[in-house]
Chain A
Amino acid sequence: MTDDALDNIDNINTSEAFDAEGARQALDVLHDLRRRRKRHRLGDIEWFDAAYRVYLVALFGGGTVLWISSSITDTTVSNSAVADVARNGPALIGMITALAFLAAVRSGAQGGPLALEAADVAYVMLSPVDRTRALLRPVVQRVRSSAYLAATFGAIVGQLAGRRLPGTPVAWAASGAVFGITTAMLWAGTALVAHAIRLPLWIATTIGLTVVAWQGAALAWHIPGPTNTAGSLAMWGWRQNLVDLSAFAVAAIVLMAGVTLLQLTSLDALARRSSLVAQLRFAVTMQDLRTVILLRRQLNQEQTRGNPWVPVPRWITPPIPRRGIASVARFPATRLVRMTAFAAMAGVFQAMVMRGTSPALIGTALMLFLLGLEAMEPLSQEVDQPDRTDSLPIERGELLVRHLIAPAVALIPFAAVTAAAAVAVLGTRAIVPAAILALPTVVAGAAGGVVSIVRDAPDPTRNTQQAFIPPEMAGMASAFRVGLPILVSALAASTILFVRHAETLHTSAIGGAIRGAIGAALLAALITVWVRRRDRWKRTFRKFMSDGQSYKQRSTA
């Protein structure tokens, strides 16, 4: 048999005819495979479950949009405010495009934006199929999903803007969507080009930061910015400048350039990203935000520092805080920069709340939640090693609480950043309230991250036979699972309302800040108790349920 089976070895045909025909046939085979796999996937879908998920997303997503919309008054803004928007709007909105460009150029330098299945890399990319044609579909899928998300976001924000600014909400929503699509195309194209030309990361970062800094200068000094036209495109719901279409044209050209260079795609990067992206998609499916963030770090090749920024002080002897400080002291610079940005953005959002924009609380909550997920690395590491945790001679709840000490201390400088950002927006009158409120708010807000991490931990108290819950409850449980951590962060962020309320009543803002700080501190303490007692409470609850079922069965018998 061997000789027959190995006939392949003699089957190499080096004629040109094989090249052209073979390549065409290979593409046909590839398309055939993709069609077949699509049929497999469609056959595997639980349509009722999928429809229920869509229903939940529509319910909660739509509800959130409606709530935010209703929070914005329908009265149009003053003439001076309209003039302000006209003057600063293009540069400010263009900053989003500039930041997307920075993200894209860095993503491309790190091997993005494409990610294939590992098997596609092993079999398709290593076959003689034309790589440009083979990669075209993943590119289309990437651009399509990014454009869809960006357009949706642009349309939502656009219709909100249209409620207070000249122009109809529908026109604003349309222009917001076009802006989103333009930015998404620019993002994808830039990343593809940066990838294909193997742009070193430091050069990519320099180029990206230059564009962002230039755009920042355009915002500050009203000079022409590189992405002003893109920003202006978002304002077509109000007034139209034909030159703004150049932003769309440039984005399309960059995207075409990226597609043209697909042949130069690095398999090295595709292979590295493939398994991570598969895990990432699974984590997204499971609404496992912590794992999503962990995998994003790996995708960005973010590695813990070999040498800590500072050594662990000798006088700290308890092993768990020591281990926590060792972890925090090895945070890479990129993560520290990201955490600083989250903290600063939280401060800006809080300032917006103080100025009357209540929906900005959602922004603060998200920033603090993300800050918490970043800071709680020691806790995450412990949760990721359940076997080791269970082998330690210490109760799990107690162990996890001790892991909170180092991250809580590490949050102090970030709380200072939050306070400084808020003061920068609100002025010096905010110094004392910000100083009082920042640390408790940041720590309590980060507790949302703690809830996410601890809830995702394997549950040693769970009996798998009791794990079944009906579909209608599973949907709610899923929404609760995602929403609860952010709700905790939102509660922490809402302590700013004590200060706003005090200012509204012309009473002491410092008093309001103290009340808010006490509220945030109580919330943080509550979460700590929950972490400490959670296993015990769940065990008690399950025993109660089990006893009830036994009693019912006995009664029936």
Chain B
Amino acid sequence: MTELSTRQLTKSYGDRPALEPLTFKVDSGANVALVGHNGSGKTTLMKMAAGLLDPTDGSVRIGRHAAGSQEARRLVSWLSDTPTFYDDLSLWEHLEFVARLHGVTQWEDRAEQLLDQIGLTQRRDDIPTTFSRGLRQKAAITLAFIRPFKLMLVDEPFVGLDEPGKQALLTMFQAASQRGATMLIATHELSFVTRVGRLLALRDGQLVYDGAPADTDVHALVLPS
């Protein structure tokens, strides 16, 4: 079953094309890395899949639903590279809010476990807008995992994370993948690419590689033209 599919997906900012017509499919349960140089269109693609950006042309579907639709929003968890938080809620209150917003009633145990896993238990009652870059990223990770999802879209997850944080996140990705979730992870961390089954590479908004990571020189793929 296809979890994510794009058809002739295009995005332009004024006269400047950010994403050329792009067509691909990601099967349910797949573990996919998305690489490319700065400005190659990775974040644009991810945001359109999350329903945050309107395509200039073409379409993105999550399962059978249009990206951004109410049904699609139930299926997609979006972990941004620039986490945002309410400045008057603690991390614990954020977790409660996001979990309950997605219909999770028994959320407390899961929240405690996630905080423990990522190393934020001591900070659960603090306001996340006061956190450092790395801690904000960790807080965002817990919020992305507290809610149900079938597809997780992750943009630059390792930025600002310390080594224990990276390891915890990798473990969580792995567990999610094992449980059948589809993962699409945009990253500059090329060592991570060897862990996934499929690699998509963008260059100047065009898909220049779609295949197994082992079959290509990843370093060459991320060089701008």
Are B103's CB and A6's CB within 8 A?
A: no
B-facing residues in A262-284 (Cβ within 8 Å):
266-268, 271
Are A126's CB and B51's CB within 8 A?
A: yes
Distance between A154 CB and nearest chain B CB, rounded to angstroms: 35
Interface range, B side = 35 or more
Are A128's CB and B117's CB within 8 A?
A: no
Are B103's CB and A33's CB within 8 A?
A: no
Q: How far is the CA of A122 from the CA of B88 in the complex (A)?
A: 16
Distance between A381 CB and nearest chain B CB, rounded to angstroms: 23
| Residues in B whose Cβ lies below 8 Å from that of A5 | 110, 113-114, 117, 145, 172
Is the CB of B34 closer than 8 A to any CB of chain A?
no
Are A267's CB and B68's CB within 8 A?
A: yes
Is the CB of B149 closer than 8 A to any CB of chain A?
yes
Are B102's CB and A26's CB within 8 A?
A: yes
Are A8's CB and B117's CB within 8 A?
A: no
| Residues in A whose Cβ lies below 8 Å from that of B83 | 122
Is the CB of B101 closer than 8 A to any CB of chain A?
yes
Are A123's CB and B52's CB within 8 A?
A: no
Are A4's CB and B175's CB within 8 A?
A: no
B-facing residues in A7-33 (Cβ within 8 Å):
7-13, 18-19, 22-23, 25-26, 29-30, 33
A-facing residues in B140-166 (Cβ within 8 Å):
143, 145-150
| Residues in A whose Cβ lies below 8 Å from that of B145 | 5-6, 8
**Which single member of B78, B86, B179 contacts A126 (CB below 8 Å)?**
B78
| Residues in A whose Cβ lies below 8 Å from that of B86 | 37, 117, 119
Is the CB of A2 closer than 8 A to any CB of chain B?
yes
| Residues in B whose Cβ lies below 8 Å from that of A554 | none
Is the CB of B50 closer than 8 A to any CB of chain A?
yes
Q: How far is the CA of A198 from the CA of B97 in the complex (A)?
A: 31
Distance between B140 CB and nearest chain A CB, rounded to angstroms: 9
Distance between A275 CB and nearest chain B CB, rounded to angstroms: 8
1/0 contact string of B95-119 vs chain A (CB within 8 Å):
0011011111000011001101100
Q: Could you say which of B19-27, B69-77, B198-206, B210-218 contacts chain A?
A: B69-77
Are A8's CB and B101's CB within 8 A?
A: no
Is the CB of B84 closer than 8 A to any CB of chain A?
yes
Are B113's CB and A1's CB within 8 A?
A: yes
Q: How far is the CA of A357 from the CA of B149 in the complex (A)?
A: 66
Are A119's CB and B84's CB within 8 A?
A: yes
Interface range, A side = 35 or more
Question: Number of A-B pairs whose CB atoms are under 8 Å?
Answer: 122
**Which single member of A3, A41, A118 contacts B84 (CB below 8 Å)?**
A118
- The answer to whether residues A9 and B179 also contact, given A23-B70, A128-B102 and a CB cut-off of 8 A, is yes
| Residues in A whose Cβ lies below 8 Å from that of B53 | 267-268
- The answer to whether residues A33 and B52 also contact, given A1-B117, A9-B149, A9-B176 and a CB cut-off of 8 A, is no
| Residues in B whose Cβ lies below 8 Å from that of A3 | 175, 179
Best-buried of B78, B103, B148, B181 by chain A (most CB within 10 Å): B103
Distance between B128 CB and nearest chain A CB, rounded to angstroms: 10
Is the CB of B8 closer than 8 A to any CB of chain A?
no
**Which single member of A1, A19, A33 contacts B97 (CB below 8 Å)?**
A33
Distance between B39 CB and nearest chain A CB, rounded to angstroms: 17
**Which single member of B51, B75, B100, B172 contacts A12 (CB below 8 Å)?**
B75
Are B103's CB and A25's CB within 8 A?
A: yes
Residue positions of B touching A, CB distance < 8 A:
50-54, 68, 70-71, 73-76, 78, 80, 83-86, 88-89, 93-94, 97-98, 100-104, 109-110, 113-114, 116-117, 143, 145-150, 171-172, 175-176, 179-181
Residue positions of A touching B, CB distance < 8 A:
1-13, 18-19, 22-23, 25-26, 29-30, 33, 36-37, 40-41, 44, 117-119, 121-124, 126-131, 198, 266-268, 271
Q: What are 29 of the A-B contact pairs (CB < 8 Å)? A: A1-B117, A2-B171, A4-B110, A6-B179, A9-B148, A9-B149, A9-B150, A9-B180, A11-B104, A12-B74, A12-B150, A19-B71, A23-B70, A26-B102, A29-B101, A37-B86, A40-B89, A41-B88, A117-B84, A117-B86, A118-B84, A119-B86, A122-B80, A123-B101, A123-B143, A126-B73, A127-B147, A128-B71, A268-B54
Interface contacts beyond A3-B175, A9-B149, A268-B53: sample of 14 additional A-B pairs, CB < 8 Å, sorted by A: A4-B109, A9-B180, A13-B103, A25-B103, A29-B100, A44-B88, A118-B84, A122-B80, A122-B84, A123-B97, A126-B50, A126-B76, A266-B54, A267-B52
